[in-house]
Structure 1
Amino acid sequence: MTVGEEVTPPPAWLDEARPRLRPGVVVGPGLTKGTSTVHFVADGETGAYLQVGPREAFLMSRLDGTRSLTEIGAEYAGRFGKRLAAEHWGQLLGLLGSRALLEPADPAQLDLLREKAEAARGSEGRSALLWRMPIPRATDLVPPAARRFGWLLNPVVAVPLTLAGLAVGVLVGLNWATLYAAIEQGPARWPLTLAGIAITWVMIALHELGHGVACHRYGGRPTQIGLMWRFPLVAFYCKVDDVVTFRTTRHRVATSFAGVYVNLAALPPIGALWLWGPQAGWVHSLAASLLLFGTVAIFFNLLPVLQLDGYHMLEHATSTVHLQSEAARFTAAFLRRGPAGVSGYPRRARWIYAGYAVLAAAVLGPAIFLLVRLWFGTLAGLWGPAAAALILIAEAAAVAAFLTWAVRRRRSAAR
Structure 2
Amino acid sequence: MSPDRADVFTHRPRLRPEILLSPPLLRGPVTVHLIRDPSDGTSFEVGPKEFFLISRLDGVRSLEEIGAEYAAAFGRRLGEANWHQLLGLLGTKRLLAGAPASEPAAAPPGPPFSGTLLRGSLRLVADAGRTTGRLHGALRPLLRRGVLLPLLALCLAMEVVLAAASGTLLRDTWWLFQQPVALVAVFTLLWLSTAGHELAHGIAARHHGGTVSEIGLRWRLPVAIMYCRVDNYRFLTRRRHQLVIGAAGAFANLLFLLPFAVWWAALETGDPTRRVLSGLLLLGSVQALVNLLPLPPLDGYTMLGHALGVSGYAPESGRYLRLRLRDRQAAAVYPRRARVLYLAYGIGSSVLVCLLAAGVVTAAIVLLAP
| TM-score w.r.t. length of structure 1 | 0.76
Partner of 1:114: 105
Equivalent residue of 2:56, what SS? coil
Partner of 1:349: 338
Question: Is 1:26 paired with 2:17?
Answer: no
Deviation track 1:163-204 (CA, whole Å, cap 9, x = no partner) reads: 322332233233234235445667994543343233222211
Equivalent residue of 2:232, what SS? helix
Question: Is 1:171 paired with 2:165?
Answer: no
Contact kept, 8 Å, 2:176 with 2:183, in 1: the verdict is no
| Candidates 6, 14, 30, aligned match of 1:36 | 30
Contact kept, 8 Å, 2:176 with 2:279, in 1: the verdict is no
- Comparing 37-46 and 253-262, the one that deviates more: 37-46
Partner of 1:360: 349
Post-superposition shift, 1:20? Answer: 1.5
Contact kept, 8 Å, 1:150 with 1:214, in 2: the verdict is no
Contact kept, 8 Å, 1:187 with 1:282, in 2: the verdict is no
Deviation track 1:200-224 (CA, whole Å, cap 9, x = no partner) reads: 2221111111111121122111222
Equivalent residue of 2:105, what SS? helix
Question: Is 1:214 paired with 2:204?
Answer: yes
Partner of 1:246: 236
Going from structure 1 to structure 2, the CA distance change for 1:78 and 1:118 (only over 3 Å counts) comes to: farther
Deviation track 1:83-142 (CA, whole Å, cap 9, x = no partner) reads: 2222222222222222221222325xx21x624x979xx9xx989998554333234221
Going from structure 1 to structure 2, the CA distance change for 1:352 and 1:163 (only over 3 Å counts) comes to: farther
| Candidates 321, 324, 328, aligned match of 1:331 | 321
Going from structure 1 to structure 2, the CA distance change for 1:67 and 1:97 (only over 3 Å counts) comes to: same
Contact kept, 8 Å, 1:139 with 1:225, in 2: the verdict is no
Contact kept, 8 Å, 1:28 with 1:40, in 2: the verdict is yes
Post-superposition shift, 1:35? Answer: 0.6
| Candidates 60, 80, 91, aligned match of 1:97 | 91
State how 1:178-257 maps to structure 2 within 5 Å. Answer: 178-182=168-172, 189-229=179-219, 233-257=223-247
Partner of 1:412: none
Partner of 1:53: 47
CA distance in 2, matches of 1:220, 1:41: 15
| Aligned residues between the structures | 357
CA distance in 2, matches of 1:300, 1:284: 24
Gaps of 5+ in 2: 365-370
* Sequence identity (%): 35
Post-superposition shift, 1:274? Answer: 0.8
| TM-score w.r.t. length of structure 2 | 0.84
| Candidates 48, 60, 63, aligned match of 1:66 | 60
Going from structure 1 to structure 2, the CA distance change for 1:368 and 1:268 (only over 3 Å counts) comes to: closer
- Comparing 25-34 and 14-23, the one that deviates more: 14-23
Deviation track 1:362-381 (CA, whole Å, cap 9, x = no partner) reads: 11235457879999xxxxxx
| Counterpart AA for 1:114 | A
CA distance in 1, matches of 2:47, 2:75: 16
- Comparing 204-213 and 263-272, the one that deviates more: 263-272
Partner of 1:296: 286
Partner of 2:368: none
RMSD of aligned alpha carbons: 3.4
Deviation track 1:284-309 (CA, whole Å, cap 9, x = no partner) reads: 34432321111111222111123211
Post-superposition shift, 1:159? Answer: 3.3
Going from structure 1 to structure 2, the CA distance change for 1:359 and 1:185 (only over 3 Å counts) comes to: closer
Gaps of 5+ in 1: 1-9, 376-415
